[in-house]
Amino acid sequence: MDRILTCCCGLDIHKRTVVACLLRPGEGGESVRETRTFGTMTDALLALRDWLSAAGCTHVAMESTGVYWKPAYHVLDGLCTVWVVNAAHVKNVPGRKTDAQDAEWLADLLQHGLLRPSIVPDRAQRALRDLTRTRTSLIEQRTAVVNRIQGVLEDANIKLAGVASDIMGVSGRDILAALLEGSADAAAMADLARGKLRRKRAELERALHGRLSDHHRLLVALHLEHADFLDEAIARLTGDIADRRRPAHRRSARRRDRPGREPLPLGRPPGVVGRHVPRQQRERGQEQGRQAAAGQHGAAPRLDRGGQGRRADQEARADLSARPVSPPGGAPRQEESGRSGRSYHPPYRVPCPRD
């Protein structure tokens, strides 16, 4: 098999050790294998970098094993071409497997051009991904905390969640504060309702009749403190994400006048959603899919998304019919057949908002 690379290295990375197999040309044109084991501390990774630099290594391949590949990638990035490959694509024959054999297998595949690298974003994009994923995790934790509060209230036979759609809203927090203070007057607590919830004061008064003991109050107080802490952390992350996303939004604003372009959403950076598809094109594709399904199998099934979803669909269709998307070349050209008044829109691919 032909060799694509002359000097390359395969890394088998673990939590505490890194096994490196270096393939470099020797006398007579044969590849010489050299295997060494390094630690995962920073000084050991720097020693690995110096060894590869002295050998003239041009390519390094490693498996994407959890998060253990990241320190080695950060140290070696810039020295040579570093490939992070999918572990499922480089699976060796089962049997007598060792760390050294795994490193040699990676080096052999890399040398013969049989590996496909995964996409690793730049440092700014990786930082943005960490922030957005942490924010998503905190939002999920807050949802779990709110569910715990509802569970405690249900145990005390307080049916607040059955009347108020959000027990963590302004009215819900006032009622919870009154419950924690030891109030037992359901009518007085029902008068704390605000907005549309005041129309349900009679039902709310019935829902607040329960048996809230001291241990229930302690649990609710702890969960509320946890929810407030998560709200503060989510707000800090949201502000930092918005600051990091401002350059991308400025670039998107410059492209907004181009056909088929829409600004990128602030809450979902491109590191999470990937390529951004305009809403009009997405709705048009869904409509075409429903029409094709209806032509083949009769009436196409359609999920009822509720009044809000239907209104959004209607607005999207009205917007699409009022402002048709023109091709990047400019205005649609007239059809060359004898019919006048009909416009021909050549098929095109909506460009992606890249730099």
For position 75, which CATH number holds?
A: 3.30.420.10
Q: What's the structural domain count of the chain?
A: 2
Q: Is the pLDDT of residue 255 over 60?
A: no
- For residue 292, name the pLDDT band (cuts at 50, 70, 90): low
Task: Find the domain containing 227 and state its range.
Answer: 126-237
Residues 79 and 173 in one domain: no
Residues 130 and 58 in one domain: no
d(CA 60, CA 52): 9
Q: What is the pLDDT of residue 333?
A: 46
Query: Mean of the pLDDT values across residues 272-280?
Result: 50
Considering the domain boundaries, does residue 137 fall inside one?
yes
Q: Is the pLDDT of residue 335 over 50?
A: no
Q: Are 260 and 325 in contact (CB under 8 A)?
A: yes
Render pLDDT for 189-238 as a digit per residue (tens, 0 to 9).
999 998 888 888 899 999 998 899 999 999 999 999 999 999 999 999 99
Residue 87 CB contacts under 8 Å (≥ 6 apart), including other chains: 63, 64, 65
Last residue of a domain, one of 78, 111, 144: 111
Q: Is the pLDDT of residue 257 over 90?
A: no
Q: Are 111 and 21 in contact (CB under 8 A)?
A: no
Render pLDDT for 2-49 as a digit per residue (tens, 0 to 9).
788 989 999 999 999 999 999 988 877 788 899 999 999 999 999 999
- For residue 315, name the pLDDT band (cuts at 50, 70, 90): low
Considering the domain boundaries, does residue 314 fall inside one?
no
Select from 14, 31, 75, 30 the least CA-distant residue to 22. 31
Mean pLDDT score of the chain: 79
The neighbour count for residue 338, using CB atoms within 10 Å, is: 5
Q: Is the pLDDT of residue 146 over 90?
A: yes
Between 280 and 328, the higher pLDDT residue: 280
